[in-house]
């Protein structure tokens, strides 16, 4: 059986590598780190992910929320947002895209693994 495929959309290389390592150690396939919102759609078409971990603030014209909205045309994969900027405006805007979860950086590896496991199993998000 194929391992669940997770795309990580993160423009900070160290944070991206930490997420990738945590996820791969947990048995997930992380085929690519996407560093810009503009590269999300081609990656979704190429990899057909089971789940997407999306940074909200990206160093590109398209931020994570815009990328998630556009992604919905191609995929219904759950989205877990991550951010280091817990502003209410960003959270409200992200909520309109119906993400599975909204996590604050720095991410605890155990919380990331547990959230991903729950999302992939179809369990309801923990508020």
In the chain (127 residues long), the average pLDDT of successive 10-residue segments reads 92 96 98 96 97 94 94 95 85 90 94 96 73
- For the chain, domains (ranges, CATH) are 6-121 (3.40.50.2300)
* pLDDT at site 127: 52
pLDDT for position 45? 97
The pLDDT assigned to 85 comes to 84
Q: pLDDT at position 1, please?
A: 55
Position 126 scores a pLDDT of 57
| Burial environment of residue 40 by CB neighbours within 10 A (0 to 12, 13 to 18, 19 or more) | buried
Selection from 70, 71, 68, 74 nearest residue 83 by Cα: 68
CA distance 86 to 17: 22
CA atoms within 13 A on the CB side of 60: 20
| Nearest partner of 83 among 52, 108, 58, judged by Cα | 58
């Amino acid at each position: 059986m194929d391992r669940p495929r997770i795309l990580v959309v993160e423009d900070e290389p160290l944070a991206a590598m930490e997420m990738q390592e945590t996820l791969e150690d947990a048995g997930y396939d992380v085929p690519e780190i996407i560093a810009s919102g503009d590269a999300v759609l081609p990656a979704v078409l190429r990899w057909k992910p089971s789940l997407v971990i999306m940074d909200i603030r990206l160093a590109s014209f398209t931020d994570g929320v815009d990328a998630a909205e556009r992604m919905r045309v191609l995929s219904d994969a759950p989205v877990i947002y991550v951010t280091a900027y817990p502003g209410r405006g960003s959270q409200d805007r992200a909520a309109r895209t119906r993400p599975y979860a909204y996590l604050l950086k720095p991410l605890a590896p155990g919380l990331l693994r547990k959230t991903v496991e729950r999302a992939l199993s179809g369990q309801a998000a923990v508020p």
